[in-house]
Each structure stands twice: as C-alpha cells, then as structure tokens.
C-alpha cells in the first residue's frame, strides 16, 4: 500500500494524544475531510450517518468508541454500568453488520477485568488496537488467498484483462486497509496481472460510484462504473469473468448478507455460470446463525435516501429529488444471498465452499455457535 493510500486510511486513533479521527466517507470522492470523534454519542452518529461504514470498519470504530467510553466512565461499579450502556448503544447503531456488536462486546469484556478508570482505558485501547490490527491482517490474507482465482482466470484468458464485478464498497475504506472484496484485486494488480473492474453504482447511496471508483482510481486499477441494473446484461454477453463482493454478516451455513442488490447479482451470475465469491474476515461470520433469511436483521434506513440523490455540481455538493414530491419510498439497506448461489467464500484462512462442513474445516473452534474471539 503506497504512502498516499495510507495517508487516507479511514480511521486514525492516537491513544497517547486522546484523538480519534475518521475519514468522512459521506464527502468522498469530492472532498477528503477527517471528522474528530470525541464521545461515544459522536461515534454512534458517525456510524448511523455512514460517515464511517463497511462492516470491518464499523467494528473497529465501535471498538475505539468503547475506548472513548472508558475515558468518560468513572472507576468502580457506576463506571462499569456506563461502559455496559455505551456497549449497548454503540453495538446497536447499525443492525446488520455483526462486526460492530462483536467488536464492542470484545472491548467491554476486556475492560470489565479492571475496577479503576485508568486501567480500563488502557485495556480498552489495547483491545481496540488488537481488533484493528487483526482486521488489517485478515484483509491482507484474503488478498493472498483470493489471488490464485484471478491468476487462473488470467491464464485461461491468455493474459487478457480479467473482468471482475463488485458491488457497493468492500474496499479498504470499509476495512482500514486492503478491503475484503478488493484485496484479491489489489494483490492481482501488484502481481502485474491485467484486471478490469465493473463497479456497480450501488443505489441509493452510491458507495460503488463514490467510494470503490475512488479507491480503484487511486490504486491505478482499470475500472468502469455501471448502473446497478447493468450486471445481468454484461454477464449474458460474457463480459464478467468473476464476481467478488463483501458481506456484513455470513451465517455458519454460508448465507451472506451484503448491500441491497447483491442477491440479484448472484442470481444473474448463477444463470450465466459466472463464479460468485464472497470475501470475508472471521469477524463477519455469525456463528450463532445458520439460516440467513430468517436470522439476519436487515437494516431499513430513512426513505429520503431513496427519494434524493447527492452529488457534486462543479461548484460544491448538490442534492436533488428524483421523484414526485408526494411519492413515498422504502429503503432496505441489505439483502441475503443464499449459500446455494455462492460459488465460494474467500476467508482469511483460505477458500471454502459455503456449507457448514467446509466452513468448519477452516474455523473448527467456531463449532457449536461459540463466540469467535479473533481471526
Ligand atoms: O451500508 P454500508 O456502506 O456500510 O454497506 C457496506 C457493504 O455492504 C459492504 O459490502 C460490506 O460492509 C462488506 S465490508 C468489506
């Protein structure tokens, strides 16, 4: 990762100076602005408004939010209660990504061993730092394990660009470094393989158009932005060799929740024989669930996000309504792709089929739905 890319790492925490800052992703790609977060309430607001977003990143941000909570909380039992309340509040800021709740609970558990405020602050920072490093390493490994998929396709195409389609942003902006779905793309690009990425715009908030396109442009990876509904057409005409998406929560049986529209891409991929992979770190598995359709909570967001589109009009940010003033909207933020439509999972421990036995082969300690401490 180049120095330029690291400079825009989407989260920066300096426990020594007491500062936590996040890249405000609502303003990308037009402006690069960092937002300082000083309180757990500000962390919750940043997560809910998607200033910070993406499953691993909201987990890391939530963990640092618990460090802010530990700084605010008194010593003794009242401080402990304050920490428990902060964990409940931050953990519920967004419901679909399992990473958020798991990370927050992990920091809470770490701090409960101490009675004194200073010790809790120290333990919270150490745990948040560990979670952040683990996520970075997990993404690096996803890149390593996903690379051979692209190498094989590249060889089959005689070195012609491999066309990879991705949805939403499962890149480093969603994950601190490398990304999940993008990690194999960065690895392939670094290995000198020719690749080209079809970037779904990802309505309503356009994370593909605004964030994935920005990331790929920064990395010098060839890409083309497409309307959300174009993927099926491209697949029918042999113009997609591989789909890789991220996930906010994947069950122990391999059902994967991701940004709304992912399921339709999986249907089109299945109909056209295009391999469809979900890339994820251990922290995005929910070991307590098998049936994703029944069990994964799907966030419903403000319908105004569907009725209005935000962009840049050449002078500054602009917002326009795209429907009649009286038209109501509904805003389902995620959908679940059943395991039967997924070719494979690219995890930080390697590739597996999306079925309980093969997932358990890679993550044997998760059997029985036990909480999974780290990757
Ligand atoms: O609503 P968002 O922008 O947080 O949605 C993010 C996604 O759907 C990503 O694909 C997902 O978090 C995977 S993270 C690498």
The backbone torsions φ and ψ at residue 79, rounded to the nearest 5 degrees and listed phi first, read -65, -40
Atom of ligand 1 nearest to the CA of 334: 8
**Does the C-beta of 55 come closer than 6 Å to ligand 1?**
yes
Of 51, 59, 246, 256, best ligand 1 pocket probe by most atoms within 8 Å of the beta carbon = 246
Atom of ligand 1 nearest to the CA of 205: 3
Residue 248 bears catalytic tag = yes
pLDDT of 336 > 70? The answer is yes
pLDDT of 355 > 90? The answer is yes
Q: Per-residue pLDDT tens for 115-145?
A: 999 999 999 999 999 999 999 999 999 999 9
**Does the C-beta of 96 come closer than 6 Å to ligand 1?**
no
Domain spans of the chain? 3-134, 142-366
Considering the chain, what is the average pLDDT of its residues? Answer: 95
Size of the chain, expressed as the number of residues it contains: 375
Tell how far the Cα of 119 is from the centroid of ligand 1, in angstroms.
Answer: 34
Its sign, for the CA torsion 351, 262, 95, 120, is positive
Please, what's the largest Cα pairwise distance for the chain? 66
Is the domain spanning 142-366 CATH 3.40.50.10470? The answer is yes
Identify the pLDDT of residue 374: 41
pLDDT of 4 > 60? The answer is no
**Does the C-beta of 180 come closer than 6 Å to ligand 1?**
yes
Of 46, 51, 52, 53, best ligand 1 pocket probe by most atoms within 8 Å of the beta carbon = 53
- The pair of three-digit structure tokens given for residue 134, joined into one six-digit string: 């683990």
| Contacts (Cβ under 8 Å, ≥6 apart) of 310 | 206, 317, 318, 319
pLDDT of 23 > 80? The answer is yes
More confident residue, 153 or 18: 153
**Does the C-beta of 166 come closer than 6 Å to ligand 1?**
no
Label the pairing between strands 195-200 and 162-166: parallel
Cβ–Cβ contacts within 10 Å for residue 293, how many? 13
Identify the pLDDT of residue 373: 43
Distance in angstroms (rounded) separating the CA atoms of residues 345 and 339:
10
Domain 3-134 matches domain 142-366 at the CATH topology level? no
Helix (H, G, I), strand (E, B) or coil at 373: coil
Identify the pLDDT of residue 2: 45
Task: Place 41 in a pLDDT band, splitting at 50, 70 and 90.
Answer: very high
Task: Place 73 in a pLDDT band, splitting at 50, 70 and 90.
Answer: very high
- The pair of three-digit structure tokens given for residue 365, joined into one six-digit string: 């300690």
Identify the pLDDT of residue 17: 86
Note the Cα 282 to chain centre separation in Å.
Answer: 12
pLDDT of 5 > 50? The answer is no
Q: Domain 3-134 belongs to what topology?
A: 1.20.120
Identify the pLDDT of residue 8: 73
**Does the C-beta of 149 come closer than 6 Å to ligand 1?**
no
| Contacts (Cβ under 8 Å, ≥6 apart) of 278 | 244, 245, 246, 247, 250, 256, 258, 337, 342, 344, 345, 346, 354
The backbone torsions φ and ψ at residue 42, rounded to the nearest 5 degrees and listed phi first, read -70, -35
How many Cα atoms sit within 13 Å of 300 on the Cβ side? 3
Catalytic member of 24, 200, 228, 248 = 248
Distance in angstroms (rounded) separating the CA atoms of residues 32 and 24:
7
- The pair of three-digit structure tokens given for residue 270, joined into one six-digit string: 């299945």
**In terms of DSSP H, where are the helices of the chain?**
3-7, 40-48, 55-72, 76-91, 98-111, 117-156, 183-190, 207, 213-219, 231-236, 262-272, 292-295, 304-307, 356-362
Nearest CA-CA partner of 69 in 125, 126, 10: 125
Three-state secondary structure string covering 82-146? HHHHHHHHHHCCCCCCHHHHHHHHHHHHHHCCCCCHHHHHHHHHHHHHHHHHHHHHHHHHHHHHH
Please tell me whether the peptide bond between 29 and the residue prior to it is cis, using omega within 30 degrees of 0: yes
Identify the pLDDT of residue 18: 87
Distance in angstroms (rounded) separating the CA atoms of residues 231 and 47:
29
Q: What is the rounded average pLDDT of the residues 32-43? A: 97
Nearest CA-CA partner of 310 in 193, 201, 173: 201
Tell how far the Cα of 77 is from the centroid of ligand 1, in angstroms.
Answer: 36
Q: Per-residue pLDDT tens for 200-214?
A: 999 999 999 999 999
Atom of ligand 1 nearest to the CA of 245: 10
């Amino acid at each position: 990762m180049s120095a330029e890319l690291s400079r825009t790492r989407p989260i920066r925490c300096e426990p020594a100076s007491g500062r936590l800052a996040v890249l405000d992703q609502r303003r990308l790609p037009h402006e690069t602005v960092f937002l300082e977060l000083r309180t757990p309430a500000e962390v919750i607001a940043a997560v809910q408004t998607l200033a910070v977003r993406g499953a691993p990143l909201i987990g890391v941000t939530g963990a640092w939010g618990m460090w802010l909570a530990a700084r605010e909380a008194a010593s003794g039992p009242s401080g402990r209660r304050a920490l428990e309340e902060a964990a409940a509040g931050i953990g519920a800021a967004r419901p679909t990504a399992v990473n958020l709740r798991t990370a927050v609970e992990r920091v809470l558990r770490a701090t409960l061993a101490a009675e004194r405020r200073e010790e809790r602050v120290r333990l919270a920072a150490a745990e948040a730092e560990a979670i952040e490093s683990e996520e970075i390493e997990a993404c690096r490994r996803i890149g390593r394990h996903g690379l051979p998929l692209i190498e094989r396709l590249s060889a089959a195409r005689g070195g012609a660009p491999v066309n990879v389609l991705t949805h939403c942003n499962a890149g480093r902006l969603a994950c601190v470094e490398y990304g999940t779905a993008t990690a194999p793309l960065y690895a392939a690009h670094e290995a000198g393989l020719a690749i080209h990425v079809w970037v779904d715009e990802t309505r309503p908030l356009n994370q593909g158009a605004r964030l994935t396109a920005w990331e790929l442009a920064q990395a010098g990876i060839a890409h083309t932005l497409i309307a959300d509904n174009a993927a099926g057409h491209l697949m029918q005409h042999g113009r997609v060799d591989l789909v890789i998406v991220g996930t906010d929560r994947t069950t122990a049986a391999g059902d994967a929740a991701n940004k709304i529209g992912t399921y339709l891409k999986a249907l089109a991929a299945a109909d056209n024989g295009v391999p469809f992979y979900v890339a994820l770190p251990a922290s995005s598995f929910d070991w307590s669930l098998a049936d994703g359709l029944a069990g994964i909570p799907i966030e419903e967001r403000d319908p105004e996000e569907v009725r209005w589109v935000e962009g840049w009009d050449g002078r500054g940010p602009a917002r326009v309504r795209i429907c009649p003033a009286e038209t109501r909207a509904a805003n389902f933020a995620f959908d679940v792709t059943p395991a039967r439509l997924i070719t494979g999972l690219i995890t930080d421990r390697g590739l597996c089929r999306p079925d309980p036995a093969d997932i358990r082969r890679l993550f044997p300690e998760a059997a029985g739905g036990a909480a999974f401490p780290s990757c």
